[in-house]
Amino acid sequence: MSRLAVPKTYKLYIGGKFPRSESGRTYEVATAKGAFLANAAKASRKDARDAVVAARAAVAGWTGATGYNRGQVLYRIAELLEGRHAQFAGEIASSEGISLAAAAREVDAAIDVWVWYAGWADKYVQVAGNGNPVSGPYFNLSTPEPTGVVAIVAPQASSLLGLVSVIAPAVVTGNTVVVVASETAPLSAISLAEVLATSDVPGGVINILTGSPAEIAPWLASHADVNALDLAGAERLDWVDLQISAADTLKRVLTPVTGVPAPSLDRIVAFTETKTVWHTKSLI
């Protein structure tokens, strides 16, 4: 006796929970050959605003954690992703139209990215900060600190590796993020959200929206409670207008990149602010 298939409807990931879009909208996700895969939630402006509220509420706790603790949390994500390797490889292969072996290599690379950034969590301050030479009996120390809430348009062609490559460097310093996943291949993003929900990542630190980047990105770019904007995957959008909207609220902006951004210290410090402290030297 044949049984009826139960197609999965993938939801958003906001504040550590999995809500449907407040608009009730969904869209069909297809394989690279056009066959139906699943339904995904189509995020609205209200969903983007809810995600920013959740990200802002999580800033204090995540920023207040030690670098060592954040590194352990990121490493735990890598551990859980390793345990679901086959699932992610299958989703990537069907969504992106690549071989299972190539998809497996992409999962391996995504795990390695989490581990790479986890290792920097308690070290980047020593490299990016410094003691400044000044005249007089003073110490002058510069230290990078997280900027706050970062809105991200993830690379659209790489459903998992591209997503991880923009999330990890933002959160490792203590920022929280709202990320718009690949529109055509969102399954890995929501499966990653399921990993995050069962890991040690506090709710609200990473918020994942699916749907149309062209629809959602302008609201995030102009949102006054978003501190920075990463347009890594916005090369097909009117990203100049997004930059102009971001400038109205004095956001830091990273412009679009070609392909998947490689792990780098530059991406870690891109969304940090430098605090400089003066301290009098003892004259005794």
Q: What is the pLDDT of residues 201-242, one digit of tens each?
A: 999 999 999 999 999 999 999 999 999 999 999 999 999 999
Instruction: Find where tokens 């992610």 sit.
Output: 88
Please tell me the distance from the alpha carbon of residue 71 to that of residue 108, in angstroms, as a whole number: 19
Categorize the per-residue pLDDT at 5 as very low, low, confident or very high, splitting at 50, 70 and 90.
Answer: confident
Please tell me the distance from the alpha carbon of residue 70 to that of residue 237, in angstroms, as a whole number: 33
> How confident is the model at residue 283, as a pLDDT?
59
Which residues, in sequence order, are CB contacts of 184 under 8 Å at separation 6+?
29, 30, 95, 156
> How confident is the model at residue 265, as a pLDDT?
95
Question: In Å, how far are 102, 107, 140, 175, 209 from 94, measured between CA atoms?
Answer: 11, 14, 55, 32, 21
pTM exceeds 0.95, yes or no: no
Categorize the per-residue pLDDT at 284 as very low, low, confident or very high, splitting at 50, 70 and 90.
Answer: low
CB atoms near residue 275 (< 10 Å): 11
Domain boundaries, the chain: 11-280
Cβ atoms 137, 284 nearer than 8 A:
no
Categorize the per-residue pLDDT at 1 as very low, low, confident or very high, splitting at 50, 70 and 90.
Answer: low
Q: Is 278 exposed, middle or buried (0-12, 13-18, 19+ CB in 10 A)?
A: exposed
Categorize the per-residue pLDDT at 150 as very low, low, confident or very high, splitting at 50, 70 and 90.
Answer: very high
State the angle between helix axes of 213-222 and 45-64 in degrees (0 to 180), rounded to the nearest 10.
60
Q: What is the pLDDT of residues 236-279, one digit of tens each?
A: 999 999 999 999 999 999 999 999 999 999 999 999 998 888 77
CATH code reported for the domain at 11-280: 3.40.605.10
Give yes or no for residue 128 having a pLDDT over 80.
yes
